[in-house]
Chains A and B, each alone.
Chain A
Amino acid sequence: MSMTSTQQETQTRSWWRQNQQRITPWLFLAPGLLMFIIYVIWPIFSSFRLSFFEYDGLGEKVWLGLANYQELFSDRAFKTSLRNNVIWLLMYMLAVPAGLFIAIFLNQTVMGIRIYKSLFFFPFVISQVVVGLMFAWFYAPNFGLFYKVIEFFTGKGIAVLADPHLATYGIIAAGLWPQIAYCMILYLTGLNNVAPDQIEAARLDGAKGLKMLWYVVLPQLRPATFIAVVVTVIGALRSFDLVSIMTNGGPFGSTRVLSYYMYEQALSEYGYRMGYGAAIAVVLFAIMMVFISGFIWKMVRDEREGN
């Protein structure tokens, strides 16, 4: 009798013993996973669902099938947004080499270098809204510094944000300011980890300047470059705050990006086409997924190789 009970005990105990290695991580992950499912996974699928309906937030949802997506194809505002997103993506990439350049420039030991470093890092610390406002005033017609300087040299000022051809580039320039600072800080930490003996060896072999940078330093900075590209791509695709602060998508919709157009259609004062907004969100999500799965694939591959 007593024998069987101890046997049972060891059996139950051993079930936990046998499996605890497998179960424990899931137990620790459970709270985070739960939040992730409720606040990320579920909304994604509910956006997918909503994109097949016409819904104004008040009345009944009306099933439309793919009509929202069909409309996207003939919607010029959507095309403008898509084109601007591509421009953002391309121009934003400038932040990576610019950040590298500044990081190399600042990676020296002179008096007060910490102050210079923090000054260069400063734009990343301030809010995007503040950056947007500052640049909006910088470009402002009649009193903005940029406008005045151009007026001084050419006799006629340029109101960047009023010009449908220039406005997007003006906003991207504002966005690059903090983004370059971000890339710079990534490279600065990367440069700290560059092996001095390799530099020494390369120097003995006569490597200098650009060759040294390209063949010796940059390969060692690959992890920093990877992160810098990832944050820049994602930063470019989710650009919203600057557009909203600086132009509201104008003049006449020429600076819209997908995230802003989605907000306009679904939630702004003149919007409340929830279904159409959701369809735009799905397209943006698909574009992001292309990049994100690429990044994840690369990370997994590196990890496997590393081990």
Chain B
Amino acid sequence: MLHLKKSAMAALAVGLLASTSAMAQQRTLTYYADYDPIPLAAMEELIAEFEAANPDIDVVLQNFDHEGYKTAIRNFLTTDAPDLANWYAGNRMAPFVNSGQFMDVSDVWAENGLYDSLGSAAASMTIDGKQWGIPYTYYQWGIYYNKDAYAAAGVDVPSTWEEFVANCEAFDAAGIDCLTTGTSALWPGAGIFDYMNLRTNGYEYHMALTSGEVAWTDQGVRDTFANWAQIQPYITENHAALDWQDAAALLVQGKAANYVMGNFAVGVFKEGGMTNDNLGFMPFPTINPDVARAEEAPTDTIHIPAGATNVEDAKTFLAFIASADAQTKLNAAIGQLPINSGSTVGDDPFIQAGFELLSSTEGGIAQFFDRDAPAEMAKIGMEGFQEFMVLPENLDDILERLEQARQRIYN
């Protein structure tokens, strides 16, 4: 046993020596990320390709689990910064940009013509007129529905809000939840709010609201909630105790008809036994025909921390990740949408639908409530949305509370 251990140690030592001597001519590029297994494999493949093209750069990817990463990033940015780090677009990156933890990468955008090719995400990467990272993937939100449930209730897929509400009554009569959600983790409720508000008041108003320029007691917000109240009775009861996957199970079983969700949920629906034949996707129906259609598409991004040591190579890597080819490969593997307009999209019908939806959006693309609004406002807001869906009679109280929070937080 002891002998075995010793020889293993020796082998390890030799291996270490060999690898350090091989790395001697290479420059190390450290990259901290929070990928799930499938995206991780895809990214590792891309990194291998990048290293083959740049033999003098060695990318060391350190992967964290999702939730842990959100806490860890605050620590490592200030103490032991990597050369590259994953994060999110929109207001979610504002704390790091404002405290000088992220590096301005506008030069990467300018030199590689990214204002053109990544144009659809430029706005969400811009703070103070500069770009602070590179977006590499996004995915659409919308309504996923069970075609069998529609058949059981004998109704057609709606195109307007009135039809959607009318359908809800038919679903109710058939004992099916018209709209399902699981708000145990709060954020799924924000998806519904975002769409209600985008469809009622439009993109500009929604952005003004999430950036604190509009009062929560404003008439526009009240209109949004008034529309929401029309479908509130038809939302799955007890959603406050359900995880989003539990609600997905209701949709799969045909106990619920519609689910406002992001495209990542398709995997869960299909694991539950749904196929392209009975799983449908539709854009959130039009409520106010006067506002331009806006959509929700959270964007994932890579940044260079201010404390990075190998900035030159980090910028090379960002330019590589921004390229049409790299984004095509990465997003084909993870089943999401590339941002580069020169990329090609996978032939999955839901990806295709999302691509069509987002590329024809004239109103604007929102990131998601908890990325557009500052963290604290997001938390209080999402609690308010959950409360509204359980106790709609508390609306005045909720809006009053959100308004107080707005006045405190945005100061």
Does B275 sit within 8 A of A, measured CB to CB? no
B54 to chain A, nearest CB (A): 32
Indicate if the CB atoms of A269 and B67 lie closer than 8 Å: yes
Indicate if the CB atoms of A58 and B101 lie closer than 8 Å: yes
A252, closest chain B residue (CB) = B387
A168 to chain B, nearest CB (A): 13
Does A103 sit within 8 A of B, measured CB to CB? no
Does B70 sit within 8 A of A, measured CB to CB? yes
A57–B378 CA distance with the chains assembled, in angstroms:
19
Indicate if the CB atoms of A270 and B379 lie closer than 8 Å: yes
A160, closest chain B residue (CB) = B241
Does B169 sit within 8 A of A, measured CB to CB? no
Residues of A within 8 A of B78 (CB): 58
A58-B99, A58-B101, A162-B241 known; A272-B74 Cβ under 8 A:
yes
Indicate if the CB atoms of A162 and B375 lie closer than 8 Å: no
Interface code A252-286, partner B: CB below 8 Å = 1, 0 otherwise? 11000000000010010111110000000000000
Indicate if the CB atoms of A267 and B71 lie closer than 8 Å: yes
Interface code A170-204, partner B: CB below 8 Å = 1, 0 otherwise? 00000000000000000000000000000000000
Does B303 sit within 8 A of A, measured CB to CB? no
A252–B339 CA distance with the chains assembled, in angstroms:
35
Does B313 sit within 8 A of A, measured CB to CB? no
Does B222 sit within 8 A of A, measured CB to CB? no
A56–B99 CA distance with the chains assembled, in angstroms:
10
Partner of B184, one of A56, A142, A248, A253: A248
Residues of B within 8 A of A271 (CB): 375-376, 379
A250–B67 CA distance with the chains assembled, in angstroms:
19
Count residues of A near B (Cβ-Cβ below 8 Å): 27
A156, closest chain B residue (CB) = B237
Q: Which residues of A (226-270) have their CB < 8 Å from a CB of B?
A: 247-248, 250-253, 264, 267, 269-270
Q: Which residues of B (173-211) have their CB < 8 Å from a CB of A?
A: 183-186
A267 to chain B, nearest CB (A): 7
Partner of A162, one of B101, B185, B239: B239
A250-B184, A269-B375 known; A141-B238 Cβ under 8 A:
yes
A57-B74, A159-B238, A270-B378 known; A164-B401 Cβ under 8 A:
no
Partner of A252, one of B101, B246, B386: B386
Residues of A within 8 A of B96 (CB): 58
Does B172 sit within 8 A of A, measured CB to CB? no
B212 to chain A, nearest CB (A): 16
Does B370 sit within 8 A of A, measured CB to CB? yes
Indicate if the CB atoms of B383 and A252 lie closer than 8 Å: yes
A252-B386, A253-B383 known; A270-B74 Cβ under 8 A:
no
Indicate if the CB atoms of A139 and B241 lie closer than 8 Å: yes
Interface code B356-395, partner A: CB below 8 Å = 1, 0 otherwise? 0000000000000010000110110001101100110000
Interface code A125-145, partner B: CB below 8 Å = 1, 0 otherwise? 000000000000001111000
A232–B31 CA distance with the chains assembled, in angstroms:
47
Partner of B376, one of A139, A161, A250, A273: A273
A161-B241, A267-B71 known; A251-B390 Cβ under 8 A:
yes
Partner of A272, one of B101, B370, B375, B390: B375
Interface code B69-106, partner A: CB below 8 Å = 1, 0 otherwise? 01100100110000000000000000110110100000
A108–B393 CA distance with the chains assembled, in angstroms:
56
Indicate if the CB atoms of A270 and B376 lie closer than 8 Å: yes
Indicate if the CB atoms of A252 and B384 lie closer than 8 Å: yes
A247–B78 CA distance with the chains assembled, in angstroms:
32
Does A59 sit within 8 A of B, measured CB to CB? yes
Indicate if the CB atoms of A251 and B401 lie closer than 8 Å: no
Does A76 sit within 8 A of B, measured CB to CB? yes
Residues of B within 8 A of A272 (CB): 74, 95, 375
Q: Which residues of B (201-255) have their CB < 8 Å from a CB of A?
A: 237-242, 246, 250
A71, closest chain B residue (CB) = B408
A134 to chain B, nearest CB (A): 15
A94–B336 CA distance with the chains assembled, in angstroms:
53
Which of A58, A252, A270 counts the most chain B CB atoms within 10 A? A252
A248–B250 CA distance with the chains assembled, in angstroms:
22
Q: List 19 A-B contacts (CB under 8 A).
A: A58-B77, A58-B99, A58-B101, A140-B241, A141-B237, A141-B238, A141-B241, A162-B239, A164-B391, A247-B184, A248-B185, A250-B184, A250-B240, A250-B383, A251-B241, A252-B390, A270-B375, A271-B379, A272-B375
| Residues of B participating in the A interface, judged by any CB pair closer than 8 Å | 67, 70-71, 74, 77-78, 95-96, 98-99, 101, 183-186, 237-242, 246, 250, 370, 375-376, 378-379, 383-384, 386-387, 390-391, 401
